[in-house]
Amino acid sequence: MSAAVTSYLTIARDGTAEIEVKRSRFLCTVSRVEDEPAARAVVERLRREHWDARHHCSAFVLGPDGALQRSSDDGEPAGTAGAPMLEVLRGREVSDVVAVVTRWFGGVLLGAGGLVRAYGDAVRAGLDEVGTRRRQLVTEHELVVSHTDAGRLESELRHRGVAVLDAAYADRVTLRLGVPAGATAGLAALVAELTGGAGGVRETGTSWVDLS
């Protein structure tokens, strides 16, 4: 992972979209995945689910920097399906995404150019359907507070733009907070302000989170 990458786009949700070209049906399934085995599992699930289709072409991009990229023509002429599908994912700058286009042949040959357009258009329709959201690299912190103060502090922190990733309740409440890399000093000052100087945060690591 490149140290320079602190945010990237992924899809907002899983979804499907279908187009028809000269009686051939192209069903695009777009799913969010974390790794290559998960991406390939989506392809295999759709192969089983739509067993009557002729092709299940795929493309996926993985990682904050989009470094892992794969595509498959699944029996279509080389370069007419997987490559244009991957090009659409690259163009939309999304990652942690697999797109599978399932084709039912309609009896009319589309030619290489027609296939390139159809597979690309199917993925564009799929991405339009699901939308995008941004993921951001955050520095995680723990803040331990009393039960009495927990609700108020959580609300205030969210209102000030701090991501509250989790709240664990025991004798006291441990809030797990996330702020953009480099914003630790600002968080410490904010917590001091909200707790009258009584609360302090402890840095615990980094993680990727979805922005709402």
In a domain, 169, yes or no: yes
Q: Is the dihedral of CA 37, 81, 90, 97 positive or negative?
A: negative
Q: How many domains does the chain have?
A: 2
- Do 114 and 48 lie in one domain? The reply is yes
- Do 110 and 54 lie in one domain? The reply is yes
- Do 106 and 168 lie in one domain? The reply is no
Task: State the chain's maximal CA–CA distance in angstroms.
Answer: 74
pLDDT in tens, the chain (212 residues): 445 788 999 999 999 999 999 999 999 999 999 999 999 999 999 999 999 999 999 999 999 999 999 999 999 999 999 999 999 999 999 999 999 999 999 888 899 999 999 999 999 999 999 999 999 998 899 999 888 888 889 998 988 888 889 888 998 899 999 888 777 778 888 988 888 877 788 888 888 988 86
Q: Helices 82-92 and 111-130, interaxial angle, to 10°? A: 40
Query: Last residue of a domain, which of 87, 115, 130?
Result: 130
Contacts of 36 (CB under 8 A, 6+ apart): 60, 62, 68, 70
Looking at the DSSP assignment, which residues form a beta bridge with residue 131?
A: none
Which domain CATH number covers 205?
Answer: 3.30.70.240
- Do 123 and 148 lie in one domain? The reply is no
- Do 125 and 143 lie in one domain? The reply is no
- Do 70 and 101 lie in one domain? The reply is yes
In a domain, 1, yes or no: no
Specify the pLDDT at position 161. 84
Look up residue 74 and give its DSSP letter.
Answer: T
Residue 33: exposed, middle, or buried by beta-carbon count in 10 A (0-12, 13-18, 19+)? buried
- Do 200 and 111 lie in one domain? The reply is no
Which domain CATH number covers 12?
Answer: 3.30.230.30
Query: Last residue of a domain, which of 73, 106, 130?
Result: 130
Looking at the DSSP assignment, which residues form a beta bridge with residue 212?
A: none
Specify the pLDDT at position 46. 97
Instruction: State how far the Cα of 9 lies from the Cα of 36, in Å rounded to an integer.
Output: 18
Specify the pLDDT at position 35. 96
- Do 172 and 69 lie in one domain? The reply is no
Q: Which domain holds residue 108?
A: 7-130
In a domain, 179, yes or no: yes
Q: Any long-range contacts for 48-54 (C-beta under 8 Å, 24+ apart)?
A: 50/102, 52/104, 53/27, 53/102, 53/103, 53/104, 54/103, 54/104, 54/105
In a domain, 112, yes or no: yes
In a domain, 164, yes or no: yes
Specify the pLDDT at position 212. 67
Q: Helices 147-159 and 184-194, interaxial angle, to 10°? A: 130
